[in-house]
Amino acid sequence: MIQKFLNTLIYGVLFFIVFFHSAFAQDMIPFASTPEPVGSGARALGMGGAFIAVADDATAASWNPAGLVQLDRPEMSIVWNGFHRTEDSMSAFSENNEIQRISNQDINYLSMVYPFNLFDRNITLALNYQHLYDFKNEQNFKMSLSDELRDITYEENGSLSAIGVACAIKATPQLYFGVTLNFWNNYFNKWEKSYVSDSLIVWDEANFFVYERWKEEYSFKGVNANIGILWRTPDDKLKIGGVIKLPFTADLKSETKMYQQYEYTGKSIFGYHRNMKIDMPISYGIGFSYRPSDQINLSADIYKTQWQDFIIKDEYGNKISYITGKSSDESDIDPTIQFRMGAEYIFIKSFEKAKFLIIPVRSGIFYSPAPAEERPDDYYGFSLGTGIATNRFSFDVAYQYRWGNNVRSHILPDDMDFSQDISEHNIYSSLTIYF
């Protein structure tokens, strides 16, 4: 019994050192949804997210704020999003493939838009809330090592959202400019992750149990700007848009609590606080929109994000990649480039007294890679959408399917031979009211 006690104590001390270092050094955000900074709205996402040069509704502030000046009357909108994701995980140390199914829903976007004329210039102001990044994630799997059987449960909850104030101006009949100032308040930007592990350890022909639990709570605060430009031909058939989402440094605060209990040596509780900084990367894109007739709209976007600059800076001056959890100097992260294409066809029915009814049909395809070690993970997708619009309101709905095979291998050490097949189903619905 004494020998077993000593062995357990030694193992506990070693595990504490390894686990504490891992929790401290591998502090990254494994985004549940795509971390690409895309915009909002059922109409836009029904067109595959190719909306930089279209940007002619209340969600324009999230795609290209210059497009807001195309609105000619006040309006307000709300966007709802629901998703279901399946993660099929494979690992050399797992007893079998683990399939996780995760669902969530949220208010994706809220906005109020007010256009007016000042000094013979069309100007539009907008106030919006955008739900940007989702951290909803759950993992439950068993690991079988040479001297250990471990049952692990890992959970994340929370998101990143921003309050935006936007302004757009028509500089010339064909050229528009716009800017959105985003406030990432820590009231909205909170999330947590927790880890629970039950282990059966075989140590020197003796069996004993170890129970571990840790929980981390985060808050995020910062300010950045999106700058947009939009040019169109005099006949409005061709439009070219560009947007740049400026980098910024945000404050990140975390509180970590850990609990460990060993079969013979008792339990230990400890925790710590951290005040860190995050460098959020620059991203930029260009879009094209071509309208051969009043009923047909074709669009395409190219969008790039510099994920190698997505860095966490701790209290000691260490710079850690938020993609790999390793030193930024040791991380090999390439930028990601998205390609999106979409189309919209509208059926128009006119009535007396300038009333009308519009029923659109939309579709889109996209390649939307996610940042990863050495090379980005490949994700593909398609979308379908429709809706109904009158002179008083519009209602849109879109379905989007996104998948990636053999992805996210970088989130665990190479010797664990880990990867996932991921598929996501997203439903978006938008309601816009015109005044």
Bridge partners, 261 (sequence order): 211, 267
pTM score? 0.84
Gyration radius of the chain's alpha carbons: 25
Helix (H) or strand (E) holding 255, with range, is strand 248-262
**Which stretches of 281-379 are assigned E, i.e. beta strand?**
283-293, 296-305, 311-313, 319-321, 336-350, 356-367
Residue with tokens 């989007």: 400
Residue with tokens 């291998």: 409
> Between vectors from CA 270 to CA 30 and to CA 273, what angle results, nearest 5°?
55
Q: How many residues does the chain have?
A: 435
Q: How many CB atoms lie within 10 A of CB 316?
A: 5
From first to last of the 435 residues of the chain, give the pLDDT tens digit: 444 433 443 344 333 333 333 343 344 444 544 456 678 899 999 999 999 999 998 899 999 999 999 998 999 999 999 989 888 877 765 555 668 888 888 898 999 999 999 888 999 999 999 988 777 777 766 666 656 666 777 777 777 889 999 999 999 999 999 999 999 987 778 878 777 776 666 555 666 677 777 788 888 899 999 999 999 999 999 999 999 999 999 998 888 887 777 655 566 777 788 898 989 999 999 999 999 998 999 999 999 999 999 998 988 888 988 888 888 888 889 999 999 999 999 998 776 665 778 899 999 999 999 998 888 999 999 999 999 998 889 999 999 999 999 888 776 666 667 788 999 999 999 999 999
Distance, CA of 148 to CA of 143 (rounded, Å): 8
* Cα–Cα dist 25/202, whole Å: 28
Q: How far apart are alpha carbons 30 and 135 in whole angstroms?
A: 8
Q: Enter the tokens of residue 348.
A: 């128009």
Max Cα-Cα span within the chain = 93
